């Protein structure tokens, strides 16, 4: 991995890094002339790894759930708070999601590699396919969030790059075509961790097809990933999100970070105040409410088995492996976000005590626990997951249910995901129709991938019986937190917290139909008058 990052640093310096003030970051500003650098296979390798830097943004991955009902971002200047509450504007949008610098690097690579002769054409084609896959992912990601973007190539001047947006359908077709062309040229398995091979490209193809409702394509692609025989569910769900678990066979692709060389500091922003963090990215009580009881019933169905005074008791085991909740054992102490004072001293983690204390009274456990895995939480080697095998299984299940449900394979795939985490198998009689199974699949996907950045896209693409986006229901209303106290004499971490039943207000949330797409940043429109703004901004 060190070799990969040394190449990355070299490749970035060769390709040149433009500032985000450059229009769409499309104009090449090579630090070295292509005539002197694009000569050998080793040159191509360095430029290739330069294309990898930032191809999937780890910051976006961990922040994205803040734009949904299951996550919250407390600081408006970080701009995910406004996405969550519906107040985003073109003047204050997440500009990094719209930057085209990686696409520009990919275009430069594809333009110049043709001039290099390789001893093995298969190696050259594999490198080309890797870059086309990176570029396709970039187009897919931007197209999904902004709804139609310019399909750009290398331009000599900024004026030549002032082109209008292509339609969402045109960009989708471009992504599909690029992936279909690249996949046959890729190696079956990557040469080392961090490189793209068939599995990653197929995962992009699968997710893009699912998001756009092309269920036949999504199902067939999920099957193709299964047929590779390279991936399997990790027997330890919690292990996936630790440094020790980065080599898990469940992980198809993750953002590569390495200690003391290229680190991921956002992890520090996720810890709560008493751990010297910012609580920038936290889960909500709405997520807790979605977890089934350990008997497979929802809390609404469970009767007295669900105790609102002790809401963390008897839940799906994934809850405690995803969220740090009041009363839980954490980092050598009892996690307490409910009491204003502890033993006569101010509680640093009390939501009203400091700006950087979690306002929801909850903190993510994924990527944070155990805290001892990081020598410096602001310079970690955490590698946020982009794709993992559980998504393949749940994508197949969702697509199959929409096409043919209910069917035995759907139940089997759901059971594989649930049972490996220690939860109960699906009650087939309870979920015996396509509609009820759809409801379960959606909840299962939310629970399985909570904190991994998939929820907002899901509530945008999922519709209710009337055809409205699920986001219109779950992102309109008050966001609140629980209040209560923690009993330090309690021996059961799931019942130490006593909830009084009074919800504390955090913020009002609003979602309009026009919030389906993010606003085109005003900065980009100032540079290119041909970019039309999305409706509602």
- Walk along the chain (537 residues) in steps of 10 and give the mean pLDDT of each run: 46 37 37 70 94 95 98 93 94 77 94 95 98 98 96 78 94 98 97 95 99 98 98 98 98 94 95 98 98 98 98 98 98 98 97 96 98 97 98 99 97 98 98 98 98 98 98 98 98 97 94 97 91 95
In sequence order, what are the beta bridge partners of 329? 334
In sequence order, what are the beta bridge partners of 73? 281
Are 380 and 267 a contacting pair, CB within 8 Å? yes
In sequence order, what are the beta bridge partners of 323? 364
The token pair that represents 529 in the structure block: 């008058």
Q: What are phi and psi of 274, to 5 degrees?
A: -65, -20
CA angle 394, 395, 398 (to 5 degrees): 85
The bridge status of strand 281-283 relative to strand 71-73 is antiparallel
Q: Which residue has the tokens 């890094």?
A: 17
Determine the Cα–Cα distance for residues 414 and 442; give it in Å rounded to an integer. 11
3 φ/ψ sector (left φ>0, alpha ψ -120 to 50, else beta): alpha
**Closest of 170, 124, 176, 132 to residue 151, by C-alpha:** 170
Radius of gyration of the chain (CA): 23
Determine the Cα–Cα distance for residues 163 and 260; give it in Å rounded to an integer. 41
Give the burial string for 218-231 (b: 16+ CB within 10 Å, else e). bbbbbebbbeeebb
Burial class (CB in 10 A: 0-12, 13-18, 19+), 178: buried
Q: How many CB atoms lie within 10 A of CB 144?
A: 21
The token pair that represents 345 in the structure block: 């001293």
pLDDT of residue 343: 95
Largest CA distance in the chain: 75
3-class secondary-structure state, position 485: strand
Round to the nearest angstrom and report the end-to-end CA distance of the chain.
43
Burial class (CB in 10 A: 0-12, 13-18, 19+), 69: buried
**Closest of 497, 486, 64, 449 to residue 290, by C-alpha:** 449
Are 379 and 388 a contacting pair, CB within 8 Å? no
> What sign has the CA pseudo-torsion 319, 442, 142, 519?
negative
Half-sphere exposure of 93 (CA within 13 A, CB side): 24
pLDDT of residue 502: 85
**Closest of 264, 228, 218, 219 to residue 249, by C-alpha:** 228
CA angle 393, 395, 400 (to 5 degrees): 95
pLDDT of residue 260: 84
**Closest of 225, 190, 194, 213 to residue 392, by C-alpha:** 225
């Amino acid at each position: 991995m060190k070799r990969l990052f040394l190449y990355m640093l070299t490749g970035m310096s060769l390709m040149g890094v433009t500032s985000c003030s450059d229009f769409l970051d499309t104009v090449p500003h090579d630090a070295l002339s292509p005539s002197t650098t694009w000569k050998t296979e080793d040159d191509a390798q360095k430029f290739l790894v330069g294309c990898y830097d930032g191809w999937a943004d780890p910051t976006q991955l961990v922040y994205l759930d803040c734009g949904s009902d299951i996550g919250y971002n407390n600081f408006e200047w970080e701009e995910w708070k406004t996405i969550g509450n519906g107040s985003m504007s073109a003047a204050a949008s997440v500009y990094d999601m719209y930057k085209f610098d990686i696409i520009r690097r990919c275009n430069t690579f594809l333009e110049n590699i043709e001039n290099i002769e390789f001893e093995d054409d298969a190696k050259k084609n594999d490198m080309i396919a890797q870059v086309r896959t990176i570029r396709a992912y970039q187009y897919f990601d931007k197209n999904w969030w902004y709804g139609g973007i310019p399909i750009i190539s290398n331009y000599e001047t900024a004026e030549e790059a002032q082109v209008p947006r292509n339609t969402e359908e045109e960009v989708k077709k471009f992504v599909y075509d690029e992936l279909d062309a690249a996949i046959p040229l890729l190696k079956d398995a990557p040469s080392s961790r961090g490189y793209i091979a068939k599995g990653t490209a197929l995962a992009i193809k699968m997710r893009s097809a699912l998001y756009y409702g092309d269920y036949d394509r999504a199902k067939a692609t999920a099957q193709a990933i299964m047929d590779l025989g390279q991936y399997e569910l990790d027997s330890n769900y919690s292990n996936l999100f630790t440094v020790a678990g980065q080599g898990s066979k469940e992980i198809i692709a993750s953002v590569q970070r390495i200690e003391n060389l290229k680190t991921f500091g956002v992890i520090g922003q996720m810890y709560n105040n008493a751990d010297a963090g910012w609580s920038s990215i936290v889960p909500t009580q709405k997520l807790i409410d979605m977890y089934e009881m350990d008997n497979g019933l929802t809390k609404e169905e469970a009767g007295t088995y669900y105790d609102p005074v002790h809401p963390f008791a008897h839940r799906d085991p994934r809850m405690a492996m995803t969220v740090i909740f009041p009363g839980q054992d954490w980092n050598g102490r009892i996690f307490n976000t409910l009491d204003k004072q502890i033993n006569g001293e101010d509680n640093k983690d009390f939501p009203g005590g400091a700006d950087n204390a979690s306002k929801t009274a909850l903190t993510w456990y994924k990527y944070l626990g155990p805290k001892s895995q990081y020598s410096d939480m602001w310079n970690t080697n955490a590698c946020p997951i982009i794709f993992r095998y559980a998504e393949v299984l749940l994508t197949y299940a969702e697509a199959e249910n929409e096409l043919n449900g209910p069917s035995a394979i759907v139940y089997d795939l759901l059971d594989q995901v649930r049972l490996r985490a220690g939860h109960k198998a699906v009650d087939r009689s309870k979920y015996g129709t396509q509609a009820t199974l759809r409801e379960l699949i959606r909840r299962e996907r939310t629970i399985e991938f909570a904190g991994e950045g998939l929820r907002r896209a899901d509530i945008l693409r999922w519709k209710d019986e009337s055809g409205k986006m699920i986001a219109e229901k779950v992102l309109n209303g008050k966001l609140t937190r629980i209040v209560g106290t923690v009993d330090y004499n309690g021996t059961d971490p799931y019942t130490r917290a006593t909830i009084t039943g009074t919800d504390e207000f955090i913020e009002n949330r609003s979602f309009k139909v026009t919030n389906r797409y993010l606003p085109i940043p005003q900065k980009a429109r100032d540079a290119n008058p041909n970019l039309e703004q999305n409706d509602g901004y």
